[in-house]
């Protein structure tokens, strides 16, 4: 049966999810529970929550899907070990380094991959399995056919978001908040959610072009189960417990009883629990404008419904743990009562001998009636096996007492946690000593930026979008003539349906003599290997610690780019067991969107014409076309560090990258020359990004 995984961002939400029929819940711990309306659940609170779940037969997954810096790694490992020792069923992660460390420290603990790993193809699922994960979330943008193909062929279990908030950014990978004034990283669940606010497209500031509707797949649950999906996930860990209870109850009933919501329930679900509306557009392969622009605030009717929902989970106990009873009452022998729950826990209770009345006494029917009285407990009596002699008397109160005692003993067994095997934390990986000047790396976004003048700035390595190279870009010959290595930039996102196009693209590039690619997703590795290409890691891999560098080194990467959410000093301090790049100039791509903002702005397909989006505070975000008619949204400001070389020099960096996006060809040359100390050019509208303050917990 499809397993229902429900969110629990607070102690009350734990109760709401369990009492509403969740098959499993997920709880935040420590850093990951510090934002979005969630309650931190460490120490006693986490212990209580996990114990509450165990007694009721509801496994709990502890979410640790933040990025973990070197400074925070030891603390994160301790939190993970504590969660395991308290009885967590699994740990959900996204950080490559943390996953590698936990695989060593807690070898028996299942690790699951979160949606920010960006698994949108079978190759991505294979890479997740190679990381040591046993279950992984698929990107919510996938269609039914793509989900089925991955689920049926992946070597690990798959999860699909069936209800709740999703992000405008593909796979939830977004840096808009991290690059904002407060540096609140979504990768640490501290997102300020700027995408949910009013934004201007085409001069209108009264729209919500990124306020995407909640996913609702309640009509497709049987399809998902038939496709081999292991787990249906309800998202919304920061939402109120009443939301958790209402949505979980509907989905639990639909899965277990195949009963879909009534018209009234659907109206309540959409009207009171989905502030941005509901849609199954991604799954059905028909995403459209109806998925956007709805923003509602709760009204008085909603508050009344919330009050009713709250009573449903706070004033009762769902009998969800099956239990069998055994009763033996024989003359001249002590009474024997026994119980066994659905997890194989057993208890035996011996009591006094029954009395021979010499006439009709206690009946099996009466014993069964008393043993079925499990109301107010988590237990549901499914069977009572009796062996009762004739004409025996035994008080109802004694049978009652035996039932209560058996359930108490079963409960104590359910509270207990099995010992957890824990190994020593691996030491900090050793870094390689690099000498000499770092490689000078240029990345362009458009063919017109590839000029003879730019080639003359002496780049060691040039990154060019794969589509531009495949279409034929003779301008790169000027770079090759000067000894510049050429590498193709792969799209940030390639879904299962687009994989054949990717493989054709790689074959074309290989025929043109391009033998290296820059990739921001582990799912690209199999295709790159098959094409005989070397691969470098882009910022999308979210490398923020030395253990991630070590993992990627073993995976065969030639180099990797450190996350721009780190402070510059953290990047310099990384133990660089793999050649490491740092982006020291350019507009950072804050997200890749499956929906075309350019079309929304122009009212027609105008992908060849760049567009922009503005917020009420004056920030303007350039929007440009990406592979597959997606859009890339860039930060409003360009990172500029040429006047602060101490931020990147002397830190063992292998490469320093200048990222050109909206710049015209002349600007590209001026910036490159500035970093070569050949002019004093000062671009406008610049910032230091997160390099001074950082956006991650430490």
Domain of residue 354 covers 321-415
Buried residues in 364-397 as b, exposed as e (16+ CB within 10 A): eeebbebbeebeebbbbbeebebebeeebebeee
Instruction: Quote the CA–CA distance of 311 and 16 in Å, as a whole number.
Output: 10
**Mean pLDDT across 54-76:** 95
Which 8-state DSSP code applies to residue 319?
A: -
Whether residues 93 and 156 share a domain: the answer is yes
In a domain, 113, yes or no: yes
Whether residues 361 and 231 share a domain: the answer is no
Whether residues 302 and 331 share a domain: the answer is no
Residues 78-110: pLDDT tens digits? 999 999 999 999 999 999 999 999 999 999 999
Residue predicted with more confidence, 483 or 596: 483
**Mean pLDDT across 217-237:** 97
Residues 6+ apart with CB under 8 A from 668: 442, 444, 449, 451, 454, 660
Beta strands in 140-229 (DSSP E): 157-164, 199-201, 204-207, 214-216
In a domain, 597, yes or no: no
Whether residues 157 and 126 share a domain: the answer is yes
Whether residues 309 and 329 share a domain: the answer is no
**Mean pLDDT across 528-535:** 95
In a domain, 147, yes or no: yes
**Looking at 314, 334, 352, which one is the last position of a domain?**
314
> What is the β-pairing status of strands 580-593 and 630-640?
antiparallel
Q: Does residue 322 carry a pLDDT above 90?
A: yes
The CA–CA distances, whole Å, from 558 to 479, 565, 624, 655 equal: 21, 22, 29, 12
Residues 470-505: pLDDT tens digits? 999 899 999 999 999 999 999 999 999 999 999 999
Q: How confident is the model at residue 602 (pLDDT cuts 50, 70, 90)?
A: low
**Looking at 351, 380, 415, which one is the last position of a domain?**
415
Instruction: Quote the CA–CA distance of 647 and 649 in Å, as a whole number.
Output: 6
Residue predicted with more confidence, 183 or 8: 8
> What is the β-pairing status of strands 355-356 and 346-351?
unpaired
**Looking at 314, 340, 358, which one is the last position of a domain?**
314
Residues 136-188: pLDDT tens digits? 999 999 999 999 999 999 999 999 999 999 988 988 889 988 888 778 888 88
Which candidate, 135, 143, 169, 156, places its Cα nearest to that of 24?
A: 135
Q: Does residue 691 carry a pLDDT above 50?
A: yes
**Mean pLDDT across 692-696:** 91
Q: How many domains does the chain have?
A: 3
Whether residues 474 and 559 share a domain: the answer is yes
**Mean pLDDT across 317-342:** 96
Give the tokens for residue 337.
């009562």
Contact predicate 193/171, CB 8 Å: no
Report percent pLDDT > 90 for the chain.
78
Q: What was the pLDDT predicted at 614?
A: 87
Q: What was the pLDDT predicted at 607?
A: 65
Q: How confident is the model at residue 690 (pLDDT cuts 50, 70, 90)?
A: very high
Q: Does residue 223 carry a pLDDT above 70?
A: yes
Q: Does residue 383 carry a pLDDT above 70?
A: yes
**Mean pLDDT across 652-668:** 97
Q: What are phi and psi of 30, to 5 degrees?
A: 60, -125
Q: What was the pLDDT predicted at 288?
A: 78
Whether residues 332 and 250 share a domain: the answer is no
Helix, strand, coil in percent for the chain, rounding step 5: 35, 25, 40
If you compute the radius of gyration of the chain from its CA atoms, what whole number of angstroms results? 29
Q: Which helix (H) or strand (E) holds 602?
A: helix 597-602
Q: How confident is the model at residue 622 (pLDDT cuts 50, 70, 90)?
A: very high
Q: What are phi and psi of 472, to 5 degrees?
A: 95, 110
Whether residues 455 and 536 share a domain: the answer is yes
**Mean pLDDT across 219-235:** 98
In a domain, 582, yes or no: yes
Paired strand residues for 25: 6, 60
- Weakest-pLDDT range from 153-157, 401-405, 468-472, 614-618: 614-618
Give the three-state DSSP class for 489.
Answer: strand
Q: Does residue 526 carry a pLDDT above 50?
A: yes
In a domain, 430, yes or no: no
Instruction: Quote the CA–CA distance of 4 and 21 in Å, as a whole number.
Output: 9
Q: What was the pLDDT predicted at 34?
A: 45
In a domain, 564, yes or no: yes
Q: Does residue 297 carry a pLDDT above 80?
A: no
Q: What was the pLDDT predicted at 11?
A: 93
- Weakest-pLDDT range from 73-77, 115-119, 359-363: 359-363
Q: Give the number of other CB atoms < 10 A from CB of residue 214.
A: 23
Q: What was the pLDDT predicted at 32?
A: 46
In a domain, 513, yes or no: yes
In a domain, 196, yes or no: no
Whether residues 16 and 142 share a domain: the answer is yes
Whether residues 138 and 238 share a domain: the answer is yes
Whether residues 329 and 304 share a domain: the answer is no
Residue predicted with more confidence, 65 or 672: 672
Q: Does residue 675 carry a pLDDT above 80?
A: yes
Q: What was the pLDDT predicted at 29?
A: 75
Residue 76 sits at the vertex; the CA angle it makes with 70 and 77, to the nearest 5 degrees, is: 100
Q: What was the pLDDT predicted at 33?
A: 41
DSSP annotation string for 332-379: TS-EEEEEEETTS-EEEEEEPPPEE-SS----HHHHHHHHT--TTSSE
Give the three-state DSSP class for 691.
Answer: coil
Which candidate, 489, 479, 551, places its Cα nearest to that of 520?
A: 489
Whether residues 307 and 325 share a domain: the answer is no
Residues 6+ apart with CB under 8 A from 80: 62, 64, 91, 98, 102, 105, 106, 109
**Mean pLDDT across 391-397:** 93
Q: Which helix (H) or strand (E) holds 130?
A: helix 122-130
Instruction: Quote the CA–CA distance of 392 and 357 in Å, as a whole number.
Output: 6
Contact predicate 203/611, CB 8 Å: no
Q: Does residue 205 carry a pLDDT above 60?
A: no
Largest Cα–Cα distance in the chain? 112
Q: Does residue 299 carry a pLDDT above 50?
A: yes
Domain CATH code at residue 50: 3.20.20.70
Q: What was the pLDDT predicted at 211?
A: 84
**How far is CA 395 from its chain centroid?**
56
Q: pTM here?
A: 0.94
């Amino acid at each position: 049966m499809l397993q229902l995984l429900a969110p629990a961002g607070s102690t009350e939400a734990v109760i709401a999810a369990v009492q509403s029929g969740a098959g499993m819940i997920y709880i935040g711990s420590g850093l990951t529970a510090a934002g979005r309306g969630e309650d931190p659940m460490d120490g006693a609170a986490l212990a209580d929550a996990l114990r509450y779940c165990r007694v009721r037969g509801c496994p709990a997954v502890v979410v640790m899907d933040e990025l973990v810096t070197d400074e925070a790694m030891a603390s994160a490992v301790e939190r993970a070990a504590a969660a395991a020792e308290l009885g967590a069923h699994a740990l959900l992660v996204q950080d490559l380094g943390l996953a590698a460390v936990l695989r060593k420290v807690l070898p028996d603990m299942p690790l699951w991959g979160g949606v920010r790993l960006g698994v949108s193809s079978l190759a991505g699922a294979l890479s997740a399995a190679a990381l040591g994960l046993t279950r992984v979330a698929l990107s919510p943008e996938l269609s039914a056919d793509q989900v089925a193909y991955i689920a049926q062929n992946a070597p690990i279990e798959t999860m699909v978001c069936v209800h709740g908030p999703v992000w405008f950014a593909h796979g939830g990978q977004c840096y808009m908040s991290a690059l904002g004034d407060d540096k609140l990283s979504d990768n640490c669940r501290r997102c300020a959610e700027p995408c949910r606010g009013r934004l201007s497209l085409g001069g209108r500031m009264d729209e919500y072009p990124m306020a995407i509707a909640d996913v609702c797949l309640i009509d497709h649950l049987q399809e998902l189960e038939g496709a081999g999906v292991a787990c249906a996930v309800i998202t919304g860990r920061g939402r109120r417990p009443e939301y958790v209870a209402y949505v979980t109850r509907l989905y639990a009933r639909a899965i277990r009883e195949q009963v879909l919501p009534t018209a009234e329930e659907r109206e309540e679900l959409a009207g009171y629990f989905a502030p941005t509306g509901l849609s199954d557009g991604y799954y059905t392969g028909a995403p459209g404008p109806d998925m956007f622009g709805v923003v509602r605030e709760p009204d008085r009717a909603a508050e009344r419904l919330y009050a009713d929902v709250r009573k449903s989970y706070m004033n009762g106990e769902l009998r969800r743990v099956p239990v069998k009873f055994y009763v033996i009452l024989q003359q001249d022998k002590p009474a024997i009562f026994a119980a066994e729950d659905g997890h194989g826990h057993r208890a035996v209770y011996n009591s006094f001998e029954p009395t021979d009345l010499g006439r009709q006494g206690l009946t099996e029917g009466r014993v069964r009636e008393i043993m079925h009285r499990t109301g107010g407990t988590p237990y549901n009596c499914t069977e009572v096996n009796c062996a009762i002699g004739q004409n025996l008397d035994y008080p109802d109160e004694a049978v009652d007492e035996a039932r209560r005692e058996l359930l108490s003993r079963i409960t104590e067994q359910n509270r207990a946690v099995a010992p957890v095997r824990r190994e020593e934390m691996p030491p900090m990986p050793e870094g390689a000593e690099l000498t000499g000047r770092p490689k000078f790396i240029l990345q362009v976004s458009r063919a017109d930026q590839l000029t003879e003048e730019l080639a003359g700035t002496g780049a060691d390595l040039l990154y060019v979008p794969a589509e531009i190279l495949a279409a034929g870009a003779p301008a790169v010959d000027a770079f090759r003539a000067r000894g510049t290595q050429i590498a193709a930039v792969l799209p940030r996102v390639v879904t299962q349906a687009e994989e054949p196009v990717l493989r054709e693209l790689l074959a074309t590039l290989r025929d043109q003599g391009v033998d290296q690619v820059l990739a921001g997703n582990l799912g690209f590795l199999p295709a790159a290997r098959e094409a005989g290409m070397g691969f470098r890691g882009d910022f999308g891999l979210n490398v923020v610690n030395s253990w991630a560098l070590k993992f990627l080194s073993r995976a065969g990467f030639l180099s990797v780019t450190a996350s721009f959410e780190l402070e510059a000093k953290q990047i310099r301090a990384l133990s660089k067991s793999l050649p490491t790049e740092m982006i020291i100039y350019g507009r950072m791509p804050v997200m890749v969107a499956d929906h075309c903002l350019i079309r929304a702005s122009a009212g027609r397909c105008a992908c060849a014409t760049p567009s922009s989006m503005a917020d009420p505070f004056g920030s303007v975000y350039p929007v440009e076309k990406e592979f597959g008619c997606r859009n890339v949204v860039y930060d409003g400001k360009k990172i500029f560090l040429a006047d602060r070389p101490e931020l990147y020099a002397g830190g063992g960096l292998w490469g320093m990258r200048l990222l050109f996006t909206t710049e015209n060809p002349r600007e590209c040359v001026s910036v490159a020359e500035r970093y070569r100390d050949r002019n004093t050019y000062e671009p406008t509208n610049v910032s230091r990004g997160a390099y001074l303050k950082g956006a991650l917990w430490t």
